[in-house]
Amino acid sequence: MTLEQTPLALAQPFIDGLVNNEIRFQYCNACGAAQTFAHDACQHCGAEDLGWKKSSGHGTVYAATIVARAPSDAFRALAPYTLVVVELQEGARIMGHAVPGVRIGDRVVASFFVHQGQTLIRFEK
Amino acid sequence: MTHAYIAGVGNTAFGRLEGLGTLDLMAKAAKQALADAQLKRSDIDGVLCGYSTTMPHLMISTLFCERFSLRPNYAHGMQLGGATGAAMLMLARELVISGRCKNVLVVAGENRLSGQTRDSSIQTLAQVGHADFEVPNGASVPAYYGLMASRYMHETGVTNADLAEFAVLMRNNAIRHPDSHLTTPITIEDVLASKPIAEPLRLMDCCPISDGAMALIVSAQPSGALKVRMAGAGQAHLHQHLTAMRDVMDCGAARASAIAFKEAGLSVADIDYLGIYDSFTITLLMLLEELGFAARGGAAQRLRKGDYGQHGVLPLNTHGGLLSFGHCGVAGGMAHSVEAYRQFQGQAGVRQVRTPSHAFIHADGGVMSSHVSLILSREA
């Protein structure tokens, strides 16, 4: 009896990208729309032919907060920390950390850091 | 055509109710609602129950029915975050209008404050954020709302002082309700000086966690001094997670209300009572503005003018809302409807407003993800 190979998680290309210090985003082969998150079908046209691309890491801050109260022990040592939603140049939105002081509308570029064994995005000005 | 009416309501106090579990709380509220509607247990032929994070049972509705001695021919639980209560009321209305049921009990309760374990709170948190794209960043529920608030304030010019007005109004309302969780008077300055949680949101911009329960009965036959018909309902679901919310100016609220207004044959101008979901101050302000009960960036101005006060043109959450009456999960979002019903019936005591003609109820689940609008009308 052979075990079936574990299927790849939908967001696995994104997770693997972080380990390689790059942001990968899903896009539609039919209409070209960049996707926020990973989907089974294009959020714009509904086509199921989706692929992954590497982002330049450049984007614009869409929303920003400073988390004073961390939700878990793992993040308590980092608090207060800045979280942002960035609209990447390619059109997808992504959540990440950011250097203190970034504001909505700032042009930023992604860098990466490892926190408790996990690679996370930190946007810099 | 069969109409659906709210025929009775019940509730427990909100706050720390040590020693009472989910089913205990639900039973207290349901018993009161039955008495209020002057119905017997055998009259209830439909039961809808909200989920409870402290009691994630596979079959909460029939679990409750067995204990409470109900034998309906339609029953199930429902999960739609903060919009669950309004969604259950909408479904109860559909069940009555279709003729499937004559009397539907809608009930939810949770000992979210005194009965919550650390594991279950982490589990709940994990569901509000995206498991791959958001949660790994150490984002919290207030962080998602803080991010949303930052964008909305950027686009509209709304200030922290504007948000604080709503925290104060909800507290002043809660002080007049004997069952409220938070009743210590607060000022705008207190809100602005409260400790930061997720900028721009501070502690007093956030609702508390409470224990409590609420129940309503939706029926083909009206009850009480005044007939309260469920005149319209609507839903919209555009996204689940904050990052995927495309436009803070079109989160789904207005799409849901448009359906409800069309069904009721009414418009914003006809409404004279509001029960609007208020998990955070920004939630309440954004909903008021998207729903058309204030211009963009203008909700705080209407509040300062007195429009949302007890004797204003649009009394708002006169029980104190989630922000001060309290938030115990599904039941927290049902309290707005329970209060609206009591205002229709003239049972709101010192909180009583001029008898409403048409009340508008709106709830959202997730991060402005799931929207449910209800319109309640006084019938001659």
The pLDDT profile of chain B, 380 residues, written as one tens digit per residue, is: 799 999 999 999 999 999 999 999 999 999 999 999 999 999 999 999 999 999 989 999 999 999 999 999 999 999 999 999 999 999 999 999 999 999 999 999 999 999 876 566 656 766 789 999 999 999 999 999 999 999 999 999 999 999 999 999 999 999 999 999 999 999 999 999 999 999 999 999 999 999 999 999 999 999 988 999 999 999 999 999 999 999 999 999 999 999 999 999 999 999 999 999 999 999 999 999 999 999 999 999 999 999 999 999 999 999 999 999 999 999 999 999 999 999 999 999 999 999 999 999 999 999 999 999 999 999 97
A-B contacts at Cβ under 8 angstroms: 99
pLDDT of the residue at B122: 59
pLDDT of the residue at A5: 60
Is the Cβ of A114 closer than 8 Å to some Cβ of chain B?
no
Residue B201: closest CA among chain A residues belongs to which residue?
A: A65
Task: Check: CB of residue B340 under 8 Å from CB of residue B359.
Answer: yes
In a domain, B63, yes or no: yes
Q: Which of B294, B281, B267 is nearest to B360 (CA)?
A: B267
Strand A107-115 relative to strand A58-67: parallel, antiparallel, unpaired? antiparallel
Is the Cβ of A83 closer than 8 Å to some Cβ of chain B?
yes
Preceding peptide of B208 cis, ω within 30°: no
- HSE (CB half, 13 Å, CA atoms) of B36? 25
In a domain, B233, yes or no: no
Interface test with B, best of A60, A95, A102 (most B CBs within 10 A): A95
Angle (CA) B304-B309-B311 rounded to 5° is: 125
Is the Cβ of A2 closer than 8 Å to some Cβ of chain B?
no
- HSE (CB half, 13 Å, CA atoms) of B257? 25
Q: Quick check: A4 pLDDT over 90?
A: no
Query: Rounded to a whole number, what is the distance in Å from the CA of A79 to chain B's nearest CA?
Result: 10
Measured CA to CA, the distance from residue A69 to residue B353 in angstroms comes to 39
In a domain, B253, yes or no: no
Is the Cβ of B196 closer than 8 Å to some Cβ of chain A?
yes
State whether B151 and A37 contact (CB < 8 Å).
Answer: no
More confident residue, A9 or B322: B322
Task: Check: CB of residue B111 under 8 Å from CB of residue B53.
Answer: no
Alpha helices per DSSP H over B160-251 = 160-175, 188-193
Q: How many CB atoms lie within 10 A of CB A66?
A: 20
Q: Quick check: A3 pLDDT over 60?
A: no
* Global confidence as pTM: 0.96
Measured CA to CA, the distance from residue B110 to residue B63 in angstroms comes to 14
Q: Each residue of A66-104: pLDDT tens digit?
A: 999 888 888 999 999 999 999 999 999 999 999 999 999
Is the Cβ of B119 closer than 8 Å to some Cβ of chain A?
no
Q: Which of B270, B299, B281 is nearest to B378 (CA)?
A: B270
Q: Identify which of B122, B137, B198 has the shortest CB distance to residue A95.
A: B137
In a domain, B283, yes or no: no
Residues of chain A with C-beta less than 8 angstroms from the C-beta of B369: none
Residues of chain A with C-beta less than 8 angstroms from the C-beta of B139: 67, 71, 83, 95
Measured CA to CA, the distance from residue B376 to residue B44 in angstroms comes to 21
Q: Give the burial string for B125-160 (b: 16+ CB within 10 Å, else e).
A: eeebbbeebbbbbbbbbbbbbbbbbbbbbbebebeb
In a domain, B43, yes or no: yes
Tally the domains of chain B.
1
Measured CA to CA, the distance from residue A61 to residue B367 in angstroms comes to 19
Residue A10: closest CA among chain B residues belongs to which residue?
A: B132
pLDDT of the residue at A72: 85
State whether B151 and A80 contact (CB < 8 Å).
Answer: no
pLDDT of the residue at B126: 64
The encoded tokens of residue B269 equal 């101008």
Q: Identify which of A65, A69, A70 has the shortest CB distance to residue B147.
A: A65
State whether A83 and B143 contact (CB < 8 Å).
Answer: yes
pLDDT of the residue at B380: 77
- Domain ranges, residue B48: 5-116+210-219
Amino acid making up residue B280: F
The encoded tokens of residue B279 equal 């998990």
In a domain, B280, yes or no: no
Q: How many CB atoms lie within 10 A of CB B122?
A: 12
- How many helices and strands in chain A, by DSSP H and E? 2, 7
State whether A95 and B140 contact (CB < 8 Å).
Answer: no
Residues of chain A with C-beta less than 8 angstroms from the C-beta of B200: 65
In a domain, B92, yes or no: yes
Q: Each residue of B129-141: pLDDT tens digit?
A: 999 999 999 999 9
Interface test with A, best of B119, B204, B243, B245 (most A CBs within 10 A): B243
Place of tokens 């018993």: B31
Cα–chain center distance at B363: 5
3-state secondary structure of A85: strand
In a domain, B50, yes or no: yes
| CA-CA-CA-CA torsion sign (B251, A108, A33, A50) | negative
State whether B147 and A120 contact (CB < 8 Å).
Answer: no
Residue A57 Rama label (left phi>0; alpha psi -120 to 50; beta): left
The CATH number for B23's domain is 3.40.47.10
**Total residues belonging to chain B:** 380
